[in-house]
Amino acid sequence: MSNESVSNEAIEQASLQLDAHVQEIIKWHFSPDTGCSFWLDWASKAGWNPAEEIKGLDDLISKFPHFQDEWLRDLQPEVWVPKAFQGQPFNVFETGGTTGMPKQRIGWSDYKVDYSEFSEKISDEHFPRNHYWLMMGPTGPRRLRLAIEHLANVRGCSCYFIDLDPRFVKKVIADKQFDVARSYMDHVVDQAVTILKHRQVSAVFTTPKLLEALSEKLDLWDAGIRGVFCGGTTMDPQYTRFLVEEVLENRIGFYPTYGNTLMGLAASVPIGPEDNYSISYYAPQPRAVLRVVDPKETSQVMDYGQWGRVELTTLTKEFFMPRFLERDEAIRKQPRAPYPWDGVAEVRPFGAMEKKIVEGVY
Amino acid sequence: MSQLPHIPCLRKGQPYQSLDQIEIQGYSDQQTLATVSTVNAGIIRRDLKRIDDAKAALRAFTVEQLIQISAKAGEAFLNETLPLGDKGHQQSPEDYIKTLSSTSGLPHVMVRRNMQKIHHALTHMKTVLTGLTRGLDLSIIDRGYGEQFGTRISYFPTAKALGLVMPSNSPAVNSLWLPAIPLKTPVIIKPGREEPWTPYRLIQAFIKAGCPAEAFGFYPTDHEGAGVILQSCGRALIFGDKNTTAQYANNPGIQIHGPGFSKILIGEDQIDNWQDHLDLMVASIAENGGRSCINASAIIVPRHGQAIADALGQRLGPIEPTCPEDEGARLSGFANPKMAEYIDGAIDQDLGEPGAEDMTAKYRTGSRKVTFEGGTYLKPSIIYCDSMNHPLANREFLCPYASVVEVPQSKMLDAIGPSLVVTAITKDPAFTEELLESDLIERLNLGAIPTMKISWDQPHEGNMFEFLYKRRSIEREA
């Protein structure tokens, strides 16, 4: 199905579903019976009523400003609790790799919904059921840790964890302490090698750089690995090809993902030489919408095949976040089966062509 | 055949076309001449893990056979049409000269001279190895042990491969790695960004001459990839300034080829005849466009400094850029105009420090930095400095540049600092003895010998045999 196009009918149908979902979520968050105090206060000052005026995505784009990340840093978490969830303890998740006060998102079961759905997109051949997984990556306050464990559990599996602190990695790289970064990376990878040598594991979640480092210390196939999903940092086409052909030897399943605490998980369509190893990701629409916008005129989407800044809108009953400008840029891609909506490809840090970005191993 | 040549990465001799490619453009007209595949560090790390079969392929030959192959490669490099890339393009010697000239800024005449140097090294490999090994019976390398000079001798290789992080500024530096092949050591080359041509052509020449392709790794790569080559081969050479090479200064596995700070010293006994040596000084400063580490960058004299500087200014100041095809061309263009801008600015800035005078200025037409037919050039600079403490007294730039400084003969060796080549014009036995004892001088020319003259039977910058092989003591049951 790798290159299947999507019918116009399917695209139209998805668009209608999205508009209906937008309307439902806006009503939820801007109704005093169900909404959270942040959005209700915001609407009272905005001078217009989103619950009445937003009929679909186009309205949302034209009427809401960009979501400010300071709101997730500066405000206490309870302002984001929808009334319908009041009294229910929540998870506090933090975003990945920055220093200082992190962005925080609260949640209850969104991550389970995302990852249960994602489970349907990975094959039993690469991710055998009722077996064991290993996650080597950021655990701590991140949604990803619980999400991966949930995904494993959904498939009848249990998961080993090796933690990686991306904030520490970014700090030492920014300070040019490359030896420290290398040593920390070795420390993390060595722990994974130990697990793989002593336990039966068939699936790995990790970052591209850690995957490469792991493969230099043992033969992944011989260690029993049959599927890898991977995310967190840039994978340009040549690096993706390197991972597929050389690290995974064209025989271990490779599932790149793009996501974060604010969005959830965007799955990729199968990649291969026919795509020139360009990875395209598709948001879990309608719960999240990704657009590739003109950095200078963010109300405008770029043409297909053009680079632009990634804009994320999150639309669940737990969390509403309109038009958040990610620190990423990507190529806008056409809908592709099984996703009848736009995708984003070759995601990399925003401004990567102009300046060197510290990404580290996460 | 596609229109533009594509130079692939060579992984143990096998072409690999990367999805990441850069374009190599002419320095003056920005015309794209080829695309070059670039690879990430991980690919190099993986290939180095499997380098043993490359070494085994070379070990199947004797040193003598590889010397013969080197000689054939030398002829092919100089005279034959060789493959250029993996799209069916071929490169004649004239094509090579034109292409290299258009990306490096070296005029044709200088490229030809560099070709001759490389050809000479390849076709005189026996002499080169005799010099490097001090006359070792080379079959001892084949067998791993033997007897010579009345004693048992055994050598073992110190590295699985020789890593090379090459510069873009002068093709003849490739001659440094050539002995590695007859010494049965695969080479892992990161070419200079603007100069893939020479190492690629050399590899093709070796392969055509019968050398196993597995012996050659050619990896256009990034900074991380260069680090892998330097750290993982066992032995490596890096070229660059102090900023680039400082981190490797204490690593015995990495040989640094940085600035030469080569000098001409004239003794008390010869200084009054300085005019006899003006041609030698001009040649030492300006040959090869002043780009070599063996170009003189300082003239140290006990007196007559002003007069010498003025005479050099008069000879070198009027030199102008010419078209690359001009047989009399003496200046090289800059592939990276920002480098010319930096050098020009650095000289001007330090001229602001009291105690220095640009002696070429009054003989030069216009400014030091000029644009000619789209290319950027730096005209020669001779700077008279009143002391070795002046910031311009012991500098080296990628253009014809030299300081002239008066230093009493008795203080010269305290003042010169590390110097790759020193030409000492003196017949004074005491001064000669001091020079011979100095640990600051890599190559010493005693008498009126230009700094640019090198001997293939004597290494002037590191000994490749001693770098790639180590002697062990051995006993063998009869």
pLDDT on residue A2: 41
What is A80-144 written as a DSSP string?
Answer: G--GGGTTS--EEEE-SS-SSSPPEEEESSHHHHHHHHHHTTS-TTTS-SSSEEEEEE--TT-HH
Q: What is the rounded (10 degree) CA torsion for B33, B35, B40, B42?
A: -110
Which of B9, B14, B18, B19 is the best mutation test for A, with the most CBs of A within 10 A? B19
Select the residue of A216, A236, A238 nearest B45 (Cβ to Cβ). Answer: A216
Contacts of A208 in chain B (CB under 8 A): none
pLDDT of residue A358: 46
* Confidence tier at B460 by pLDDT (50, 70, 90): low
What residues form DSSP beta bridges with A315?
A: A320
State the average pLDDT over residues B138-149: 94
CA angle A67, A68, A74 (to 5 degrees): 135
Q: What was the pLDDT predicted at B2?
A: 62
For residues B68 and B296, the answer to whether their CB atoms sit within 8 Å is no
Q: Which residue of B has its CA nearest to A241?
A: B19
| Domains of chain A by start residue, with CATH | 8-349 (3.40.50.12780)
Instruction: Please say if the pLDDT value at position B437 is more than 70.
Output: yes
Q: Residues of A with CB below 8 A from B43's CB?
A: 242, 246
Is A247 in the B-facing interface, judged by CB distances under 8 Å?
A: yes
| Domains of chain B, each with CATH number or no CATH | 6-258+461-472 (3.40.605.10), 262-446 (3.40.309.10)
pLDDT for the residue A354? 57
User: Do B42 and A277 lie within an 8 Å CB cutoff?
Assistant: no
Mean pLDDT check: name the lowest of B126-140, B238-252, B342-356: B238-252
| Residue ranges in chain A modelled with pLDDT below 70 | 1-4, 96-99, 352-362
3-state SS class at A209: helix
Residue-level pLDDT at A46: 94
pLDDT tens sequence across B38-74 = 999 999 999 999 999 999 999 999 999 999 999 999 9
Instruction: Output the furthest CA–CA distance in chain B (Å, rounded).
Output: 77
Residue in chain B closest to A178 (alpha carbons) equals B224
What confidence tens digit (pLDDT) does each residue in B82-126 have? Answer: 999 999 999 999 999 999 999 989 999 999 999 999 999 999 999
Could you please report the per-residue DSSP string of A267-296?
Answer: EE----GGGTT--EEE--TTTEEEEEEETT
* Residue in A closest to B48 by C-alpha: A216
pLDDT in tens, A68-90: 989 999 999 999 999 999 999 99
CA–CA min distance A215, chain B (Å): 10
Residue A359, pLDDT score: 44
Instruction: Spell out which residues of chain B touch residue A346, defining contact as CB-CB under 8 Å.
Output: none
One-letter amino acid at B44 equals I
Q: Which A residues in the span 273-332 are in contact with B, Cβ-Cβ below 8 Å?
A: 276-277
How do residues B344-386 score in pLDDT, each as one tens digit?
A: 999 999 999 999 999 999 999 999 999 999 899 999 999 999 9
Percent of chain B with pLDDT over 90: 86
Q: Give the model's pLDDT for residue B285.
A: 98
Contact (CB<8Å) A238/B20: yes
The model's confidence at residue B261, banded by pLDDT at 50, 70 and 90, is very high
Q: Give the nearest partner residue to B40 out of A216, A238, A276, using CB atoms.
A: A238
Nearest CA-CA partner of A262 in A71, A33, A3: A71
What pLDDT, on the 0 to 100 scale, is given for residue B1?
56
Nearest to A239 among B40, B45, B46 (CB): B40
With beta carbons under 8 A apart, name residues in chain A contacting B247: none
Using a CB–CB cut-off of 8 Å, the residues of B that contact A are 18-20, 39-40, 42-43, 45-46, 49
CA distance A200 to A133: 9
| pLDDT above 80 for B461 | no
ipTM: 0.85
A236 contact B CB<8A? yes
Q: Are A230 and A242 in contact (CB under 8 A)?
A: no
The predicted pLDDT at position A362 comes to 42
Other C-beta atoms closer than 10 Å to the C-beta of A72 total 22
- Which residues in chain A are closer than 8 Å to B19, comparing Cβ atoms? 236-238, 241, 276-277
Q: What does the pLDDT read at residue B84? A: 97
Whether B40 sits inside 8 A of A241 (CB atoms) is no
Instruction: Tell me the count of A-B CB pairs closer than 8 A.
Output: 25
Verify whether the Cβ–Cβ distance A246 to B42 is below 8 Å. yes
Amino acid in the structure at residue B401: Y
What is the share, in percent, of chain B residues with pLDDT greater than 70? Answer: 98
| Region for B420 from its dihedrals, namely left if φ exceeds 0, alpha if ψ lies in -120 to 50, beta otherwise | alpha
